[in-house]
């Protein structure tokens, strides 16, 4: 084992905040990590970390070495990525956190295809809609559907995420079909509780903005549950197209106010800006971007159902 590996271990110890946690993330014995860290300091002839019973803290030498280590590891990783063939089999471990509904609906088959290309890869998937601490949890890469505001993260767009209002035909027969955004105020609304506000933002064909506030009839923190409640006739839900597309194709759900446009988000691949991105993670991001693209298959299916073209995002 060489200095480069010692450098990688040092970086992981710093980011994990403890030797014990770093050892767990690296799949190594705590004694081995501690010995490698001590060996690195002995070779450099300086102390990098102030140790205590509760936490580790970088001294000035350690902070400088940490920043330079990140740059070196990132340069090496970039070089490996640029010179390697895209179909080179990968090995090692990759821990990825993904949204629950999106993961179960679309990423299971994507990860299956990726693992077929790289059968030696050890893949760990965390399915959750909560925002995890990537560093503390030892997560290499996360997919998030959101407006990113965290400057401590690096991100790359994977695919656009569009939304639409949907309801069952039986519900619309009982309560009437909205013809204008204001009509939504008279309807039962199913609310995704992870959203910060209880209102709809819709844009008409002239680009005019319409905001509709509502009192939720049913709230839930899972889009698939709300889809099922909509199918059962309990109201109108604001659904991601990647959830609603099959139900629209089968007729279980009907788009409401399809002539109005809703704000879009993106699915992002994110990782801490203090961590170099491994070749494994880079190739997975490339794979997902290519698989879904700017006009994902679920939006194409909805557009075909509505008999109108789906325009790719820029």
> Residue 256 pLDDT more than 90?
yes
Q: Start-end ranges of CATH 1.10.10.10 in the chain?
A: 3-83
> Residue 314 pLDDT more than 70?
no
- Kindly indicate the confidence band of residue 150, based on its pLDDT and cuts at 50, 70 and 90: low
- The highest-level CATH class for domain 92-161+265-306 is alpha beta
- Kindly indicate the confidence band of residue 129, based on its pLDDT and cuts at 50, 70 and 90: confident
User: What CATH topology corresponds to 163-256?
Assistant: D-Maltodextrin-Binding Protein; domain 2 (3.40.190)
For residue range 19-67, what is the model confidence (pLDDT) as tens digits?
Answer: 888 888 888 898 888 888 888 888 888 888 887 656 778 888 888 888 8
Most confident of 114-118, 170-174, 304-308: 170-174
- For 179: left if phi > 0, alpha if psi spans -120 to 50, otherwise beta; the answer is alpha
- Percent of the chain exceeding pLDDT 90 equals 52
- Report the alpha-carbon distance of residue 66 to residue 48 in Å, rounded: 9
Top-confidence residue, 56 or 120: 120
Please check whether residue 230 is in contact with residue 190, taking contact to mean a CB–CB distance below 8 angstroms.
yes
Buried b (16+ CB within 10 A) or exposed e, 82-113: eeeeeeeebeeebbbbbbbbbbebbbeebbee
pLDDT of residue 313: 56
Q: Start-end ranges of CATH 3.40.190.10 in the chain?
A: 92-161+265-306, 163-256
> Residue 202 pLDDT more than 90?
yes
- Percent of the chain exceeding pLDDT 70 equals 90
pLDDT of residue 89: 66
- Kindly indicate the confidence band of residue 71, based on its pLDDT and cuts at 50, 70 and 90: confident
> Residue 154 pLDDT more than 80?
yes
Which residues partner with 125 through β-bridges?
96
User: pTM score > 0.85 for this model?
Assistant: no
pLDDT of residue 112: 95
Beta carbons within 8 Å of 248's beta carbon, 6+ residues apart: 166, 254, 255, 301, 302, 305
- The highest-level CATH class for domain 3-83 is mainly alpha
Which residues partner with 140 through β-bridges?
none
Most confident of 14-18, 260-264, 270-274, 306-310: 260-264
- Report the alpha-carbon distance of residue 81 to residue 88 in Å, rounded: 11
- Report the alpha-carbon distance of residue 173 to residue 154 in Å, rounded: 47
pLDDT of residue 279: 83
> Residue 204 pLDDT more than 80?
yes
Top-confidence residue, 79 or 7: 7
Please check whether residue 154 is in contact with residue 271, taking contact to mean a CB–CB distance below 8 angstroms.
yes
Over residues 178-201, the mean pLDDT reads 93
- Report the alpha-carbon distance of residue 148 to residue 258 in Å, rounded: 27
pLDDT of residue 1: 52
- Kindly indicate the confidence band of residue 84, based on its pLDDT and cuts at 50, 70 and 90: low
> Residue 134 pLDDT more than 60?
yes
Over residues 119-136, the mean pLDDT reads 87
- Kindly indicate the confidence band of residue 164, based on its pLDDT and cuts at 50, 70 and 90: very high
The label of the residue with tokens 């809703």 reads: 262
- Kindly indicate the confidence band of residue 220, based on its pLDDT and cuts at 50, 70 and 90: very high
pLDDT of residue 73: 80
């Amino acid at each position: 084992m060489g200095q480069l590996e010692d450098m990688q271990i040092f970086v992981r110890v710093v980011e994990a905040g403890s030797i014990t946690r770093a050892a767990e993330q690296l799949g190594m014995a705590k004694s081995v990590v501690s010995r490698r860290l001590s060996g690195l300091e002995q070779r450099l002839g300086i102390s990098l970390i102030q140790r205590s019973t509760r936490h580790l803290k970088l001294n000035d030498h350690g902070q400088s070495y940490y920043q330079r280590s990140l740059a070196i590891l990132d340069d090496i990783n970039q070089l490996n990525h640029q010179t390697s063939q895209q179909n080179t089999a990968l090995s090692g471990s990759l821990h990825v956190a993904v949204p629950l509904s999106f993961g179960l609906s679309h990423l299971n088959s994507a990860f299956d295809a990726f693992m077929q290309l790289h059968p030696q890869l050890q893949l760990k998937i965390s399915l959750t809609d909560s925002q995890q601490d990537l560093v503390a949890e030892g997560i290499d890469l996360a997919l998030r559907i959101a407006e990113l505001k965290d400057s401590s993260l690096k991100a790359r767009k994977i695919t656009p995420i569009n939304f639409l209002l949907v309801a069952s035909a039986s519900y619309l027969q009982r309560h009437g079909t909205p013809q204008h955004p204001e009509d939504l105020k008279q309807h039962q609304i199913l609310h995704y509780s992870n959203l910060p506000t209880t209102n709809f933002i819709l844009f008409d064909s002239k680009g005019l903005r319409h905001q509709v506030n509502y009192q939720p009839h049913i709230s839930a923190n899972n889009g698939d549950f709300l889809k099922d409640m909509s199918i059962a006739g309990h109201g109108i839900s604001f659904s991601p197209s990647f959830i609603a597309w099959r139900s629209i194709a089968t007729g279980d759900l009907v788009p409401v106010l399809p002539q109005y446009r809703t704000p879009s988000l993106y699915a992002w691949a994110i990782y801490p800006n203090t961590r170099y991105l491994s070749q494994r993670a880079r190739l997975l991001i490339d794979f997902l971007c290519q698989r879904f693209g700017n006009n994902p298959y679920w939006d194409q299916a909805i557009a075909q159902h509505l008999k109108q073209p789906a325009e790719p995002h820029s």
